[in-house]
Amino acid sequence: MNIIIQSLSQIIMPFNLMLITLGTLFGMVCGALPGLSSSMAIILCLPFTYSMDPVSGVLLLVSVYVGGATGGSISAILLKTPGTPEAVATTFDGYPMSQRGDAGLALGLAVSASSFGTIFSAICMVISAPLLAVLALKFQSAEYFALGLVGLSCITSIGSKNQMKAILSVLLGLMFSTIGIDSINGIERFAFKQPFLLNGINYISVMIGAFAIAEVYRNVEELSHRDTSTVTNSKVSLVIMKFSEMLKMWKTFIKSAIIGTVIGIIPAAGGSIASLISYGEAVRSSDTPEEFGKGIPEGIIAPESANNAAVGGSMVPTMVLGIPGSPVAAVIMAAFMILGLRPGPLLIRDQPILLNAIFFGMLIAALLLFVGGRFVTREFARILKLPYPLLGTLIATLGVVGAYSLKNSFYDVAIMFIFGFIGYYFEKFKYSSSAFILGLILGELVENSLRKQIIIGNGSWSGFVERPLSLFILMVAAITFLSPIISKYKKNKKAKTEKSTH
């Protein structure tokens, strides 16, 4: 109790509160800009922390992290440009909703879900960090493989409209993920001696291309058949959903937050996998799965609540074991070291104030998001009132800058444009860009952990089913994969019998 009061009194200092506010805002802006990831945002803030005391420094970095995980949804919803990989799933329903004219609603939902996810995982972190950290160690290669399969099996839920084509798209994505230096033997695959291909295809530039640029192409095509002076999005509603209405979806909120926290804890999986799995689960368990993808609230809540919950989750093994739970957490851990702190079991024992400071920092950042963020982000929605030629140019510019700043390389820009075309034709012929990206993101995790487990099992495959946790997750994957197919089959059959009786 003493510690809590002590750490609270440190945080309440005006300077620290200011840092949290600035950090959250800065994180949100960086998150909204494609190509400027949360880790880059934290690195940019790092020099400012050198002269601060550790608690202030950590507060700044953690609030940037929270802001970044939230900001990605802003551009995902408004521009179909996921600002961060974590926000890919948010485009599925967020963009249709904003196209419908409910941009304010979509943004409000995203921010509320984000702050809920943050608060949930922060509470989990502080109550049971040492217990939860054990979970991180239960996850070994076999479990990673199984988890990757759960992610991939979401495909039947996400691409429920045309499952065959969605599966084809995911396979294509998996194929593209093998380009580059393979991570087990170091062999070049499909690189054709081109240095820029050695590192593989960067899924962020693919994501910007296939979502944002393809969308610009599509709009340009539509506009050329129409008087360009008309503003496409003349109706932009900035109404925010009422609190009481949101409460009705508490199940989605909590389930997604749990998924996010758990996946965040696991070192090799982060917010992007968490949000995809949580979205898949929301579709699977929904009574109206066919409404997903058309812009329903649950489709925004699920990924946003999960990717922010992954923030708190990823801090658990970072603080307790010194093993970062996500790439962003790895940067925060590096920052800890610069501040003279060494994360690990000793840190929690020697500096209990710090863990509480992170907890309260996340809590305040989340509350800030909830109260202020809903109104601030709503103003972002005004961007949709721009005439499309202007907006389209802005999106393309943002995309180019975003792809370039990934590695300061024009190859990524070229890849973005190539996948812009591919994404455009995918959409036209009802293949699924999201499924393709799902394959591209998860391909490496799945392949890598599969091959590692086989090396570790001395060439035997039995490890996957002999390890109880791995077996359990594999079964979850099977259920996730099959249940939409079965329910669709049942529905078709029902429809047929109804027809025949008529």
Partner 1 sequence: MKKILALVFIFVMVFTMVGCAPKAEAPAPAPAKESAQASAPEQAAPEAKKVDFPKRPIEMVIPFGTGGASDIFARGYAQIVEKYLGKPLTAVNKGGAGTIEGLTYAYGAPADGYTVLEITPSLLIVEAQGKSSIKFRSEFEPIMRVQSDVVSIGVSVNSQFQNIDELIEYAKANPKKLKIGGLSPGGLDDYIANGFALAAGIEWTYVPYKSGSELKAAVLGGELDVYQDKLISFLPLVESGDVRPLVVLNDKKLDSVEVLKDVPSSVEKGIDFTQGSWRGFVIKKGVPEEVKKIIIEAFEEAYKDQAYKEMEAREMTNVREGYLNSEDFGKAWDKEFDSYVEIFKLMGVIK
Query: Given the rule CB under 8 A, which residues bind partner 1?
Result: 29-30, 32-33, 35-36, 39-41, 43-44, 136-141, 180-186, 195-196, 198-199, 267-268, 317, 321-325, 327, 330-331, 334, 337-338, 340, 342-346, 379-380, 382-383, 385-386, 394, 398, 401, 404-405, 407-409, 448, 452, 455-456, 458
Nearer to partner 1, 36 or 154 (CB): 36
Cα separation of 106 and 368, whole Å?
Answer: 18
Question: Maximum CA pair distance of the chain?
Answer: 78
CB neighbours of 286 closer than 8 A, spacing ≥ 6?
292, 298
Give 210's DSSP letter: I
Nearer to partner 1, 140 or 237 (CB): 140
Structure tokens at 218: 């599509």
Nearer to partner 1, 235 or 385 (CB): 385
Query: Smallest distance from the beta carbon of 385 to partner 1, in angstroms?
Result: 6
Query: Smallest distance from the beta carbon of 123 to partner 1, in angstroms?
Result: 24
Amino acid at 214: A
Query: Smallest distance from the beta carbon of 435 to partner 1, in angstroms?
Result: 24
Query: Smallest distance from the beta carbon of 187 to partner 1, in angstroms?
Result: 8
Alpha-helical runs (H) found in 33-87: 38-49, 54-79
Query: Smallest distance from the beta carbon of 24 to partner 1, in angstroms?
Result: 15
Nearer to partner 1, 274 or 363 (CB): 274
Residues 388/232, Cβ–Cβ less than 8 Å: yes
Query: Smallest distance from the beta carbon of 473 to partner 1, in angstroms?
Result: 15
Q: What angle do CA 23, 52, 327 make, to 5 degrees?
A: 50
Half-sphere exposure of 248 (CA within 13 A, CB side): 6
Nearer to partner 1, 81 or 90 (CB): 81
CA 443 to chain centre: 16
Cα separation of 258 and 252, whole Å?
Answer: 10
Nearer to partner 1, 138 or 496 (CB): 138
Element (H, E) at 181: strand 180-181
Q: Give the residue among 210, 440, 199, 414 at the shortest CA–CA distance from 190.
A: 199
Query: Smallest distance from the beta carbon of 399 to partner 1, in angstroms?
Result: 12
Structure tokens at 286: 């929904």
Give the position of tokens 């034709």.
425
Element (H, E) at 188: strand 188-189
Query: Smallest distance from the beta carbon of 135 to partner 1, in angstroms?
Result: 10
Residues 103/290, Cβ–Cβ less than 8 Å: no
Cα separation of 375 and 382, whole Å?
Answer: 12
Nearer to partner 1, 65 or 292 (CB): 65
Nearer to partner 1, 284 or 467 (CB): 467
Nearer to partner 1, 285 or 409 (CB): 409
Query: Smallest distance from the beta carbon of 467 to partner 1, in angstroms?
Result: 10
CA distances 408 to 41, 223, 412, Å, are 16, 33, 8
CA distances 37 to 86, 185, 234, 246, 409, Å, are 10, 29, 31, 29, 16
Nearer to partner 1, 74 or 122 (CB): 74
Query: Smallest distance from the beta carbon of 35 to partner 1, in angstroms?
Result: 8
